[in-house]
Amino acid sequence: MSHLSQRLARLRESGLAPKVRDSASRNRSIIPPESGWSPLADDVWERRVVMPAILPDKFEDPFVLSGLTRSEDLVFYDLETTGLSGGAGNIAFLIGIGRQSEGEFVVTQIFLADYPGEPAMLERYRDLSGSSSVQISYNGRSFDSQVLKTRFLLNRMPPVYSPQVDLLYPSRRMWSSLLPNVALGTLEKEVLGFHRTDDLPGREAPDAWFEWLDGDDGRIGGVFRHNADDIHSLAALLLRIEQWGGVPPETLSPGSVSDGGHPEGLPPSYFGMARQYALRKPARSRRWLEAGWSAGDTRCGRELAVNLKREGDHAASRRIWEKLNSEGMDYLSAVELAKDDEHRLKDFTSALAHISVFDRWPLSPRHRREINHRRGRLERRLEKQQGR
């Protein structure tokens, strides 16, 4: 007996060896809880959940989508997996796919009732998603799409490559400064205006599936409902983001609930909208920065001043830095004013005055080094200017 075999034998005798599920001993005739399930293949079930249409027929001037997009070309997807992190051993046991057509929003769920059915589940996902569709997810770029890609490759099947729109990123830009987090549940409550009741948290989904494999279907129904709700929320969130993309920035009142003239729920930040628009439509980004600065958003002011300086409008840029540094203690503004004094106006005395105020204030080591380096150079230039 090998050394490893001896160790395993001792572990079994002590009761500490890991338990291995014998899927063949499970009653495979058990139908998944909830209604509407039908067998798709051995160990794979499928059902359709039909909801009213959520989206317009098309998005003509999209904000986060690319170009004119028909809603029927969008695929909303979400996975429930055996683990909450990546890795080759992470398996999707439930795939939810939402599509809108002919006045209905339909969520199709593919459920893996046991491991041998994975190839059939993946093939069905491929058929439903379509290679030419735009896939919409929440954190799908980093997680869901990577899990699927890995599982396709491990099953020696070519992965599905489709354009991906991950709503996590625009949501983070637009609302992260206004909310404690940008979890989908938080956005549902604050941005979409609804709250789930009797919801099974997503973190419990892996355990619920393993319980199913052991013959206990007590919690798996909650996983199905949670997944369908996630798909519905994805579509609602995309619509809300696109609606905000059509709002004139001059009419926005940040941090307050809509007054009826705007989409319902918490408005996004000016700066977040500007950042999102900067990816594709810089002119609209500029409008959001200007409106935000007019409303007192200092982040918009800083970004606007940087842009103006880059464009060569130093006077307008300086006016913003001076307002931001009205109390003389805004580090970034003071440094920018010192740069302008030194390099454009050649006023070394004024430049020194802007940064000397920080001598008596605590700074990070990096900022302290920057200030000391700048002061040394200014003092040398001032001495040279004065002929000393």
pLDDT of residue 27: 45
Strand partners, 244: none
**pLDDT value for 250:** 87
Number of H helices, E strands in the chain: 14, 9
What is the pTM (predicted TM-score) of this model? Answer: 0.86
Cβ-based neighbours of 1, under 8 Å, separated by 6 or more: 9
> What pLDDT, on a 0 to 100 scale, did the predictor assign at position 24?
41
Cβ neighbours of 282 (radius 10 Å): 11
Residue closest to 288 by CA, chosen among 310, 299, 278, 273 = 273
Name the residue with higher pLDDT: 18 or 33: 33
The answer to whether 175 and 168 have CB atoms below 8 angstroms apart is no
Domains of the chain, residue spans: 28-245, 249-385
Q: Is the dihedral of CA 99, 101, 105, 106 positive or negative?
A: negative
Q: Which one is predicted more confidently, 251 or 170?
A: 170
Instruction: State the average pLDDT over residues 285-307.
Output: 96
Q: Tell me, what's the pLDDT at 84? A: 72
**What pLDDT, on the 0 to 100 scale, is given for residue 68?**
84
Element (H, E) at 339: helix 331-339
pLDDT band, residue 1 (cuts 50/70/90): very low
Mean pLDDT, the chain, rounded, equals 88
For 249-385, the fitting CATH number among 3.40.640.10, 3.20.20.140, 1.25.40.10, 1.10.3470.10 is: 1.25.40.10
Decide if pLDDT at 92 tops 90.
yes
**H/E stretch holding 95:** strand 92-101
3-class secondary-structure state, position 304? helix
Cβ-contact 177, 271 below 8 angstroms: yes
Query: Greater confidence, 11 or 284?
Result: 284
What is the Cα 246 distance to its own chain's centre? 21
**Fold (topology level) of 28-245:** Nucleotidyltransferase; domain 5 (3.30.420)
**Does pLDDT of 16 surpass 70?**
no
Higher confidence at residue 26 or residue 218? Answer: 218
Torsion of CA 358, 362, 368, 372, to 10 degrees: 40
Q: Kindly state the percentage of the chain with pLDDT values over 90.
A: 69
Consecutive H or E run containing 220: helix 220-245
